[in-house]
Structure 1
Amino acid sequence: MTVPALAWVCALALIAGLLLFDFFFHVRSAHTPSLTEAAIWSAAYVGVAVAFGFGVWVFGGTTMGVEYFAGYITEKALSVDNLFVFLIILTTFRVPSAAQQKVLLVGIVFSLVVRTGFIFVGATLINRFAWVFYVFGAALLITAGNMLKPESEDSHSGDTFVLRLARRFLRTTDHYDGDKLVTVIDGRKQLTPMLLAMVAIGGTDVLFALDSIPAIFGLTQNVFLVFTATAFSLLGLRQLFFLLEGLLDRLIYLGFGLAAILAFIGVKLVLHALHANNVPFINDGDPVPVTEISTAASLAVIVVVLLVTVVASLLSPAGRAQTAVANARRHATRYLDLGYEADQALRERTYAEMIAEEDTIAALPSKYTRRIREGEAELMALLEQAHIVHADRIARMEAGLPLRM
């Protein structure tokens, strides 16, 4: 279906307006968003995406509406998996909490620009070569299989290539200067690690696009829908990160759900390729009479799989244990790292959050607490060190002595 130029103009204006609003009203002044702020703005961006989808449904018809929502939900679910890697990158580069918003926004905008190029290249290939659906389907099936391999937070390493490349070509200082990209040292301008973190976030998200773009093309070949669903799934991803940061490790079954969805779409693409087959060595170049999966059925499968895996993850005691361990380690590391948190009030809040996670671990069933104490010696040592440092800080404050730096 041909989409009117006016629809493209309105969609592009809305997306550009949201990005500008995000920069000037949220990111321009560095601050750490509260949970309430992150929740409100995450809901607002999802609301805009849903409202846009209903507009597509009203003006484009039921088929376009269903295709948009199927694409949007799939891309949004895949973007949540990306947040695991974002968390690793921000921790690796010790990005201060107040500066993380800018790093995420710039990286996401860069990714959106590059993904747009991927979308138009993919659309061109699909229009010219029907066999591309075989390639896309095989790629998704391989990706689904790789996602079923045992993983931990540290094994979400899709950023390895990007990080090594960025470190090789971008020479930066060892410390931050607020949220500036350039600082002055001994009268000379030098890049701060902020730029390196932005490149890592954007480059990593581009690598994820190699999976997500074929996935959405398996649900719709309408370039307008592919672009808008992808764009709206990225918009608000920054707010979603701060909302879910403490719960990411809780979603222990999300990877299985995403693997099932990608495998399902991969099969759907292969069936479509067989239906439109013109490859000489398959059925002598003639279409193969197979049953294709409708987009409505695909949407139903995607929603059900996501609901089941998310609910199962949230109800799982193992998920609670994994979340508490990961959060306790993260909070203790941040508290001890003066370069990470220069804001003393924020450091104290981080310490309080660490204590809360320790209480959560203590309240877990005995088999989990025993397993953590026996198998997480490094974590126990880290927590003990944080307590020692905190006790020293309190003693120095009560004695009127300057804090150790």
Structure 2
Amino acid sequence: MITGWAWAGFGVFLLIMLSADLGIWHRRPRVPGFREAVLWSVVWAALALVFTGGLFLWAGSRTATEFLAAWLIEKSLSIDNVFVFTLIFQSMLVPRELQHRVLFWGVFGALLMRFLMIMAGLELLEQVHWLVYLFGVQLIIAAVGMVRSGGGVQTLRIPWLIRRLQVWVPSTNELVGDQFLVRSSGRMLATPLLWALLMAEWSDLVFAIDSIPVVLSVSREPFVVFTSNAFAILGLRSLYFAIAGLLDRCRNLHYGLAALLGFAGIKMLLSGFMPVSPAVSLGVILGIVLCIALTFRRGAVQIHQVAG
């Protein structure tokens, strides 16, 4: 039984880790080295596995299995976020030493946004059960679209809302240190760093629309769904700095991600007739994740910007 104390304890853990990240480890703008990024990626993975063990002892094997499966899904799908972050930083000329600051506040906003989306999604599924089949169809369509895209060309589309804001909000075209807003001639101006942050938040919203239904196909326990998302998101910055330079080795990555989406969609469609056990789900997901790990091979991925 997941109690309010569990939520409070995890909330304190998040606050401590986020405060230590920005206030201690990255107080000054700098570029995390490859070894440091890999080390932190391992640390976050280890913490997720320790958390899995804690759930096993406290809430039982089913809850622990659901968390591990959900975390593996979110971790794998988050690789796609790395592509988009690269596009955002390249198109907006954000220097590497400032990218961590954008990612930090992007993670903070993503945690809040996903918490609200998860709670809304669970409430919808509780009240309107047939939505599970709609989510399943959505995931299968997304999987087919990912395969048909070929995975060779990544594009960055600036959302209409952000383009309108760039017209309406007074801005400066030059970076001012690590500031998102600066005061000049008595008025506040948005810097390119703020637009990069808003683009990062928008991209996470787009990814969450697909990834949250995937996790809901594994578990309907709010604590499991949110904590699996949180651990994947918290490790996203380290993952970015660890593999951003290796993206040209991911030629077949989209097939693995499409398989995850497709499996989750089929699982949702079968939920009312032939439920798939958490153990079977975990086994299938582990197999797909292993295949994704093998996609890091030499191959070109073209990156360009498309305004739209």
Q: The TM-score by the shorter chain falls in which range? A: over 0.9
Alignment-derived partner of residue 240 in structure 1: 239
Superposed counterparts of 1:4-403, under 5 Å: 4-151=3-150, 154-157=153-156, 160-161=159-160, 163-185=162-184, 189-272=188-271, 275=272, 290-311=273-294, 313-314=295-296, 316=297, 320-322=298-300
Pairwise CA RMSD: 2.0
Structure 2 unaligned spans of 5+: none
Q: Deviations over 1:126-179 (max 9, x none)?
A: 111211111111111111111112345653446545653553444421111111
Identity of aligned residues (%): 32
Change (3 A) 1:161 1:303: farther
- State the distance in 2 between where 1:133 and 1:250 align: 35
Question: Secondary structure of 1:245's partner?
Answer: helix
- Which one-letter code corresponds to 1:309 in the other structure? I
Kept after mapping to 1: 8 A contact 2:152/2:300: no
Relative to structure 1, the CA distance from residue 143 to residue 159 in structure 2 (aligned partners, 3 Å threshold; closer, same or farther) is: farther
Alpha-carbon separation, structure 1, partners of 2:156 and 2:43: 31
TM-score, normalisation: structure 1 = 0.71
Which stretch shifts more, 110-119 or 148-157? 148-157
Residues in 2 aligned to 1:38 and 1:75: alpha-carbon distance in whole angstroms: 19
Q: Is the 8 A contact 1:56 1:65 kept in 2?
A: yes
Of stretches 222-231 and 32-41 in structure 1, the one that deviates more from structure 2 is: 32-41
Separation (CA, whole Å) in 1 of partners of 2:62 and 2:157: 35
Out of 45-54 and 57-66, give the one that drifted further: 45-54
Task: Verify the 8 A CA contact 2:65 2:278 in the aligned structure 1.
Answer: yes
Partners of 1:140 and 1:266 within 8 A in 2: yes
TM-score by length of 2: 0.92
Find the aligned partners of 1:157 and 1:205 in 2 and give their Cα distance: 13
Q: Residue type of the partner of 2:274?
A: T
Conservation of the 8 A alpha-carbon contact between 1:84 and 1:156: no
Q: Distance in 1 between matches of 2:215 and 2:164?
A: 28
Distance in structure 1 (CA, Å) of the matches to 2:284 and 2:157: 27
SS of residue matched to 2:93: coil
- Hey, what's the Cα distance between the residues in 2 that align with 1:169 and 1:71? 40
- C-alpha separation in 2, matches of 1:112 and 1:71: 16
The 8 Å contact of residues 85 and 158 in structure 1, kept in 2 or not, is answered as no
Work out the CA distance in 1 between the residues paired with 2:76 and 2:218: 14
More off after superposition, 179-188 vs 224-233:
179-188
Aligned mates of 1:146, 1:50 — CA distance in 2: 32
Could you say which structure has the larger radius of gyration?
1
CA apart distance, 1:209: 0.4
The verdict on how the C-alpha distance between 1:35 and 1:166 changes in structure 2, with shifts beyond 3 A counting, is farther
* Secondary structure in structure 1 of the residue aligned to 2:220: coil
Give, in whole Å, the separation in 2 of the partners of 1:237 and 1:159.
Answer: 22
Contact kept? 1:158, 1:204, Cα under 8 Å:
no
CA distance in 1 between partners of 2:147 and 2:245 (Å):
23
Q: For the Cα contact (< 8 Å) 2:151–2:254, is it kept in 1?
A: no
**Cα shift readout 1:35-80 (whole Å, capped 9, x = no counterpart):** 1111112211221121111111111100001000000000111111
Q: Which one has more relative contact order, counting CA pairs under 8 Å at least 6 apart?
A: 2
Shift in alpha-carbon separation, 1:263–1:212, aligned structure 2, 3 A: same
Specify the alignment match of 1:283 in structure 2.
Answer: none
Letter paired with 2:284: V
Query: SS of 1:155's equivalent?
Result: strand
Report the 3-state secondary structure (helix = DSSP H, G, I; strand = E; otherwise coil) of the residue aligned with 1:183. Answer: strand
Deviation per CA, 1:288-325, whole angstroms, max 9, x where unpaired? Answer: xx3221121111111111212321x23x4xxx2416x8
